[in-house]
Amino acid sequence: MTGTWQLVRLALRRDRIILPIWIVLLGLTPASTVAAYEQLYPDAASRMALSVGAGANPSIAVIYGPAYDLTTAGGFTAWRYGLFLALFAALMSIFTVTRHTRAEEDSGRLELIGSAVVGRYAALTAAVSVASAANIVIGVAAAAGLAAAGLPVAGSFLLGLGVAGAGLVFTAISAVTAQLTEYARSANGIACAVLGGAFLIRAVGDSTASLSWVSWLSPLAWPQRAKPFVDNNWLPLGLAVLAAGLVLTVAYQLVPRRDLGAGLFPARLGPAIAGKSLSSPLGLAWRLQRGALIGWTIGAVIVAAVFGSIANGISDLVGSSEQVRQIMERMGGAQSIVDSFIAAIAQMFGIVTAMYAVQAALRARSEETAVRAEPLLATSTSRAAWVGSHLAFAVLGSAVVLGFAGLAMGLAHGLRIGDLSQVGGIFAGSVAQLPAVWVAGGVAALLFGLLPQLTTIAWGAVSVFALITLFGPAVQLSQPVLDISPFTHVPKVPGSEFTATPLLWLAGIAIVLFGAGVTAFRRRDVG
Amino acid sequence: MTTAISVSGLVKTFGRTRALDGLDLTVRTGEVHGFLGPNGSGKSTTIRVLLGLLRSDSGRATLLGGDPWKDATELHRRLAYVPGDVSLWPNLSGGEVIDLLGRLRGGLDQRRRADLLERFDLDPRKKGRAYSKGNRQKVALVAALSSDVELLVLDEPTSGLDPLMEAVFQECVEEERDRGRTVLLSSHILAEVETLCDRVSIIRAGRTVETGTLSELRHLTRTTITAELATPPNGIAALAGVHDVKVNGNHVSFDVDTKELDAALKALTQSGVRSLTSQPPTLEELFLRHYQEEVA
C-alpha cells in the first residue's frame, strides 16, 4: 500500500477538470427537477393524471424504472432520476477506475511508477479511493440539493446515497475488469457490457409485473427499489455496500495472480497467414471498421427496439401535459402523436448515424496520421481506392445502421400493437435520413481531401446540424437558418407525405462532396 | 549501366522550411546505394517524393523509368518500401500484415517469407500492438524482402534491430544485390553502409554534398599514421597535407590527406621505420568532418 496517497494526489491532479464536471452535473441535476415538477403539475388533478398516464405505463418503466408515487415531488424525482443518475455514476466510476489502473499499465506509465517505492496494491487502492470519494460527493451533493429544494431529508439522502451505492458497485466491478485483460479499452468495454446487462435486466423486471423480482439482480435498480420518499427502505443501500465490498475483495485477490502489465486473460494470438479477404484495401477497411459498424448496429437496434416498444404508450404520457404535446408536435409535424414521435426518433437516428458516418470517413485521416496509410500507398494501391475503401463505410455502413434501426423500431412497435402493417412506413422514415447522413459524411470527406489538418470541423458541422434540427424549431429560428441542416429537408415519415425531390437534392450534394474530397486527396501530399 | 533512380535539382518546401533544396541523387540499377545525412536533412522527404506520397515543387525525378507522381501505382508494383518508423494495425497479426502488403504489391514468395520469418526469429501470430519497435520493423522487412520487386527502398530499416538481427539484415541485403535488385538504403549506421553499399550519397540541409564509391570518398579524407622510427622525425610537420603531428622521442603520429600519403611515407622512411600502423579513414570520420565543417 506504500505510495497510495501520492497516487491519489496524482489521480486527483489529473482529474481536476473531469471529476468536478461529473460531480456538478450529477450532484445538481436532481434538485432542479423539484421546481419544474411544481410548475408542470401544480395541482392534485394533474398529478393524478400523471400517475395514471405515465406511472402505470410499463413501456415508460423500461426507460425510467418503476414509479411508486408520482403525486409528490420526491416520488417524481426518484422515478425520473433514480435510474439515470445511477447509470451515469456507474459510467463515471468505470472510466475513473480504468483510467488510473489498466490505462496506466497499458501505456507503460505505471511501470515507471511501479519501479519507485510503490506497493503492489497502491494503484488499485488509489483508483478505487478516488472513484469512491467522487461517488460519495455526488451522493451527498444530490441529497443536500434535494433537501435544500424542500424535500424530506431522509428521502433525499436515501436517493443520493443510493445513487452513490450503485456507483460504488461499478467502481468495484471495474476494479475487477481492470485485472482481466491487457488493454484499457477492453477493461472499459467489459465493464460497460456488465452495465448494459444490468440496465436490460432491470428493464425486464421494471416493465413486467410478474417478473418484478428480477430487478433485484441489477445494482442499477437498487436506488429506486429503496423507494425513497415513499417507504424509505435502507436495505438496498446496505446491499450495494455489501456487494461493492465483495466484488472489491475479488479484485484484490486477482492482483497478486498476475504480472504488471499482463492480464489474467492472456493476449490472444492472431493467424500466421492472412485470410483471402485481406487482399484489397476494402478487405483491410472491413477489418478495421467492422467492429465499429457491428457495435453501432447492435446499439441502434437495441435503442430502436426500446423506442419502438414505448411509442404506443407515448400518447398517454403526452396526454397529461399540454406543453409536452406542443413540443412533440413542433419536433415532428401536426399528425397523430405516435406518428410524430416515431418520425422524431427517426430524425434522431439520422443525426446519430451522421456521427457514425463522420467517424467512418475520418478513419482515413486517423490511418494517415498514424503513418499507416503510407506503406499501403507505396504499394500498387491507388489513392482513390484506399480512401474510397474507408468512405464506403460512411456511405454503406450508415445505410446498414439506419436500415436495422428502422426495422427494429418498426417491428417492436408493430409487435406491441399487434399490427405489422406499419413496419414498412417506419423503416422508410428511418432510411429516408440517409441522404442527409451522407451530406454530413461528405463534409468530412471534403475536409479530409482539402484541409486534412482541420478534419475536426466535420464534428462541428454535425453538431450544428443537430442543434438546428433538434432545437431550431422550438426556439423559432428563421427558415434559411433551419435550411442549413440537411435533416430539415428530410420528409418526416410516418406522418407527413413522402417526397423524393429533397432527398435527391441531398444525395446529389453528397456525391459532389465525396467526389471533391477524393479528387482533392489525389492531388495533395500524404502525411 | 542503366539508372534506377535519377533525381536532379529537387526542391520541396513545407511552409517556410525548405526541406529539399536542389537535391541530386543517382542510383544505378543493381547497386546498393547508401543514403546518408543527419536528422532532418531531407532523406525521408526525398524517399517520400520518390514514392509519390509528396509532390515536389521543382526539379526532376525519375524512378524505374517513370514519373514517381504520375505513374505511382504502376511503379509501386515494382518496388517495396520499408519506412523508418513502422506503425502496424493493432488488431492485425504480423503475418496478416506481411501477406496484405505482399498481395497489394502483386504477390510474394511464400518460401522466402517462411525463410525470412525463421531467420529474423519473428512470430507472425502476434498482434500489431504486441510487437516491439524492432519486431515491427522485422514485419515490414519480411514483407518487403519476400516481395518479387526490382527496387527496395529502405528508410533507416534497422534502427530498432539488435546486433544479431542487424547481421541477418546485412546478409539479406547482400542476397538481394546478388539477385540483381537495386537497393536504396537510408541509414544512420555507418558500419552498415560501409559493409553493404557500393556507392554513397551524403546530403545536408536538403542538398547532396558528396556522392561516389566509398574508395572515391576515402580519397577525400585523411589517414592516421602512427610510427616508431630509428631517429626522431625530421621535417614531417612541414609537409603539405600533414596535420596534428605529435612527436614523443622516436614516436610520431599524424593525420595526412590521402593524396599526400606517398610523400609523407617517403619522409618517414628517411628516419628509418621500425613499426608503422595506418588507420584508413572511416566513413564516420568523413561524415563527421562534413558536419563539423558545417558547424565551423
Q: How far apart are CA A516 and CA A143, in angstroms?
A: 55
Q: Does B127 touch chain A (CB under 8 A)?
A: yes
State pLDDT tens for residues A21-68.
889 888 888 888 888 888 888 888 888 888 877 777 766 777 788 888
Q: How far apart are CA A229 and CA A231, in angstroms?
A: 6
What value does the mean pLDDT of chain B take?
A: 89
Query: Which residues from chain B sit within 8 angstroms of residue A287, using beta carbons?
Result: 89, 91-92
Contacts of A375 in chain B (CB under 8 A): 81, 83, 86, 101, 140
**Is the predicted pLDDT of residue B66 greater than 60, yes or no?**
yes
Q: Give the DSSP H or E segment for B33.
A: strand B32-36
The alpha-carbon gap from A183 to the nearest alpha carbon of chain B, in Å, equals: 10
In a domain, B195, yes or no: yes
Q: Do A273 and B54 make contact, defined as CB atoms within 8 angstroms? A: no
> Does B198 reside within a domain?
yes
* Mean per-residue pLDDT of chain A: 88
Cβ-based neighbours of A514, under 8 Å, separated by 6 or more: A391, A395, A438, A441, A442, A445, A446
Task: Tell me the count of A-B CB pairs closer than 8 A.
Answer: 116
Q: What is the total count of domains within chain A? A: 2
* Choice among A148-162, A303-317, A480-494, B129-143 with the minimum mean pLDDT: A303-317
Average pLDDT over residues A93-99: 93
Which residue among B213, B241, B257 closes a domain? B213
The residue with cell 436532481 is A30
Burial class (CB in 10 A: 0-12, 13-18, 19+), B96: buried
Closest residue in A to B153 (Cα–Cα): A378
Where is the domain boundary, B175, B191, B213?
Answer: B213
- What does pTM read for this prediction? 0.76
CB A358 within 8 A of CB A437: no
**A201 and A288 share one domain:** no
**How far apart (Å, rounded) are the C-alpha atoms in residues A329 and A319?**
12
Is B74 in CB contact (< 8 Å) with chain A?
A: yes
Instruction: Please report which confidence band the pLDDT of residue A333 belongs to, taking 50, 70 and 90 as the band edges.
Output: very low
- Whether A230 and A309 map to the same domain: the answer is no
Asked if A389 and A473 sit in the same domain, the reply is yes
Longest dimension (CA), chain A: 75
* B130: confidence class by pLDDT, cuts 50, 70, 90: confident
User: Is residue A262 domain-resident?
Assistant: no
**What whole-number distance in Å separates Cα of residue B202 and Cα of residue B209?**
6
Amino acid at B69: W
Looking up residue B226, the CATH number of its domain turns out to be 3.30.70.260
pLDDT score, position A283 = 96
- The stretch B273-292 carries a mean pLDDT of 76
Alpha helices in A55-152 (DSSP H): 58-64, 73-100, 102-107, 109-114, 122-148
Angle subtended at Cα A238 by Cα A233 and Cα A241, rounded to the nearest 5 degrees: 145
Are A527 and B88 an interchain contact pair (Cβ–Cβ within 8 Å)?
A: no
Cell 510487437 -> residue: B131
* Contact: A381, B73; criterion CB under 8 Å: yes
pLDDT of residue A320: 53
Boundary residue ending a domain (B213, B238, B266):
B213
The pLDDT of A101-111, averaged and rounded, is 78
Q: Clarify whether residues B125 and B40 are in a common domain.
A: yes
The distance between the two most distant Cα atoms of chain B, rounded to a whole number of Å, is 73
Q: Which residue of A has its CA nearest to B72?
A: A380
Task: Tell me: do B232 and B185 sit in the same domain.
Answer: no
Q: Are residues B193 and B232 in the same domain?
A: no
For residue B289, what is its C-alpha cell? 568532418
The HSE-up count of residue A430 (CA atoms within 13 Å, CB side) is 29
Residue B295 resides in a domain? no
pLDDT tens digits, one per residue of B7-29:
999 999 998 899 999 999 999 99
Q: Are A394 and A444 in contact (CB under 8 A)?
A: yes
What is the rounded CA–CA span in Å between residue A78 and residue A62? 15
Per-residue pLDDT, averaged over A281-293, amounts to: 93
Interface test with B, best of A363, A368, A380, A521 (most B CBs within 10 A): A380
Identity of the highest mean pLDDT range in A307-316, A410-419, B285-294: A410-419
Looking at the structure, do residues B49 and B195 belong to the same domain, yes or no? yes
* 3-state class (DSSP) for residue B26: strand
Do residues A233 and A155 touch, judged by C-beta distance below 8 A? no
Angle, helices A337-369/A434-450, rounded to nearest 10 degrees: 20
Residue A285 has pLDDT above 80, yes or no: yes
The shortest CB-CB distance from B81 to any of A278, A279, A375 is to: A375
Region B119-133: what's the mean pLDDT? 91
Q: What is the mean pLDDT of residues A425-439?
A: 96
A314 and A463 belong to one structural domain: yes
Query: Per-residue pLDDT averaged across A364-373, rounded?
Result: 92
Do the Cβ atoms of B51 and A271 come within 8 Å? no
* Cross-strand pairs, B20: B12
**Is position A73 within any domain?**
no
Q: How far apart (Å, rounded) are the C-alpha atoms in residues A105 and A7?
A: 14
> Looking at CA atoms only, how far is residue A453 from chain B in angstroms?
14
A28-32, A265-269, A402-406, B281-285, range with the lowest pLDDT: B281-285
Partner-chain residue, chosen from A288, A376, A525, that has the shortest CB–CB distance to B104: A376
* Count of positions (residues) in chain A: 527
| Domain enclosing residue A452, as ranges | 281-523
User: For B158-166, what is the mean pLDDT?
Assistant: 89
Shortest CA gap B56–chain A (Å): 9
Confidence of residue A2 (pLDDT cuts 50, 70, 90): confident
Provide the pLDDT for residue A318. Answer: 56
Read off the pLDDT of each residue in B248-273 and give the average, rounded to a whole number.
86
Is the predicted pLDDT of residue B161 greater than 60, yes or no? yes
Averaging pLDDT over each range in A190-204, A421-435, A464-478, which range is the top one?
A: A421-435
Contacts of A181 in chain B (CB under 8 A): none
What is the CA angle B136-B141-B145, rounded to 5?
160
> How many Cβ atoms sit within 10 Å of the Cβ of residue A360?
27
Chain A residues lying within 8 Å of B101, measured CB to CB = 375-376, 379
* Residue B296 confidence (pLDDT) above 50: no
| CA proximity to A21, closest of A134, A117, A119, A113 | A134
The torsion defined by the Cα of A304, A310, A316 and A321, in degrees rounded to 10, comes to -40
Q: How far apart are CA B239 and CA A199, in angstroms?
A: 92
Rg (CA), chain A: 25
Looking at the fold, whether B108 and B240 belong to one and the same domain comes out as: no
**Using the beta-carbon criterion (under 8 Å), do B53 and A374 form an inter-chain contact?**
yes
Check whether residue A250 and residue A109 sit in a common domain.
yes
Domain assignment present for A512: yes
User: What is the tens place of the pLDDT at every residue in A452-507?
Assistant: 999 989 988 998 998 888 777 767 788 999 999 999 999 988 877 888 999 999 99
Which of A64, A50, A55, A134 shows the shortest CA–CA distance to A100? A134
Residue A274: list chain B partners with CB under 8 A. Answer: 95-100, 103
Percentage of chain A modeled with pLDDT above 90: 54
> Does A278 sit within 8 Å of B99, measured CB to CB?
yes
Mean pLDDT value of segment A327-331: 58
Q: How many CB atoms lie within 10 A of CB B224?
A: 17
- A243, A309: one domain: no
Measured in angstroms, the CA of A292 and the nearest CA of chain B are apart by 13
Query: Do B185 and B237 belong to one domain?
Result: no
Residue B101 half-sphere exposure toward CB, CA atoms < 13 A = 33
Contact list in A for residue B100 (CB cut-off 8 A) is 274, 278-279, 283-284
d(CA A374, CA B13): 19
Supply the pLDDT for residue B293.
Answer: 58
Q: At what angle do helices A457-471 and A434-450 cross, to 10 degrees?
A: 150
Q: Which residues pair with B207 in a beta bridge?
A: B204
A141/A243 same-domain check: yes
What's the 3-state SS for B79-119?
EEEECCCCCCCCCCEHHHHHHHHHHHHCCECHHHHHHHHHH
CA distance A107 to B239: 61
State residue A323's pLDDT score.
61
> Is residue B157 domain-resident?
yes
At residue A81, the 3 state secondary structure works out as helix
- As a whole number of angstroms, the distance between CA A108 and CA B65 comes to 47
**What chain B residue is nearest to A374 in terms of C-alpha separation?**
B53
The answer to whether A284 contacts B100, with C-beta atoms less than 8 Å apart, is yes
- From the candidates B104, B122, B153, B155, which should be mutated to test the interface with A, based on the most A CB atoms within 10 A? B104
CA distance A315 to A348: 19
- Whether A319 and A414 map to the same domain: the answer is yes
Q: In the structure, what pLDDT confidence band is assigned to residue A243 with cuts at 50, 70 and 90?
A: very high
First to last CA, chain A: 46
Q: CB–CB of A484/A464 below 8 Å? A: yes
Tell me how far the alpha carbon of residue A249 is from its chain's centroid. 30
Q: How far is CA A270 from each of CA A295, B97, B116, B161, B198, rounded to the nearest angstrom? A: 21, 11, 19, 23, 40
In a domain, B51, yes or no: yes
Per-residue confidence band for B85, with pLDDT thresholds at 50, 70 and 90: confident
Asked whether residue A270 is assigned to any structural domain, the reply reads no
Question: Sign of the C-alpha dihedral, residues A273, A279, A284, A290?
Answer: negative
Q: Are residues A378 and A508 in the same domain?
A: yes
Burial of B115 by CB count in 10 Å (0-12 exposed, 13-18 middle, 19+ buried)?
A: middle
What is the arithmetic mean of pLDDT over A219-227?
95
Q: By mean pLDDT, which of A195-209, B130-144, B171-185 is the weakest?
A: A195-209
> What ipTM is given for this predicted complex?
0.84
For B188-234, the pLDDT digits (tens) are 777 888 889 999 998 988 999 889 888 777 766 778 889 998 888 87
Does a structural domain hold residue A118?
yes
Q: Are residues A413 and A460 in the same domain?
A: yes
The yes-or-no verdict on residue A331 having pLDDT over 60 is: no
d(CA A171, CA A178): 11
What average pLDDT score do residues B178-191 get? Answer: 90
Domain end among A242, A257, A272: A257
C-alpha grid cell, residue A337: 402523436
A333-337, B132-136, B249-253: least confidently modelled range: A333-337
CATH of the domain at B80: 3.40.50.300
Instruction: Specify whether A459 is located in the same domain as A313.
Output: yes
- Mutation site, A106, A276, A371, A372, interface B, largest B CB count within 10 A: A372
Contact between B147 and B137 under an 8 Å Cβ cutoff? The reply is no
In chain B, how many domains are there? 2
Residue A327 has pLDDT above 70, yes or no: no
Residue A77 lies in a domain: no
Interchain contact B4–A (C-beta under 8 A): no
Long-range contacts of B275-281 (CB under 8 A, 24+ apart): B275/B227, B275/B228, B276/B225, B276/B226, B276/B227, B276/B228, B277/B225, B277/B226, B277/B227, B278/B223, B278/B224, B278/B225, B278/B226, B279/B223, B279/B224, B279/B225, B279/B226, B280/B218, B280/B223, B281/B218, B281/B221, B281/B222, B281/B223
- Taking the C-alpha atoms of A340, A343, A345 and A346 in order, what is their torsion angle to the nearest 10 degrees? 180
A318 assigned to some structural domain: yes
Q: Do the domain assignments include residue B260?
A: yes
Residues B227 and B105 in one domain: no
Residue B112 lies in a domain: yes
Q: Which of residues 45-64 of B touch A (CB under 8 A)?
A: 48, 51-55
Do B262 and B185 fall into the same domain? no
Nearest residue on chain B to A290, alpha-carbon basis: B91
Closest to A26 (Cα-Cα) out of A86, A69, A95: A86
End-to-end Cα separation, chain B, in angstroms: 39
CA B105 to chain CA centroid, nearest Å? 24
Secondary structure of residue A304 in the 3-state scheme: helix
Report the C-alpha gap between A459 and A142 in whole angstroms: 33
If asked whether residues B227 and B188 sit together in one domain, one would say no
B-interface mutation test, from A182, A368, A379, most B Cβ less than 10 A away: A379
pLDDT at B59: 94
Question: What's the pLDDT score for residue B186?
Answer: 94
Looking at the domain assignment, is residue A11 inside a domain? Answer: yes
Q: Which structural domain, as residue segments, surrounds residue B257?
A: 222-280
Instruction: With respect to residue B291, please indicate whether it lies within any of the assigned structural domains.
Output: no
Residue A449 and residue A506 in one domain = yes
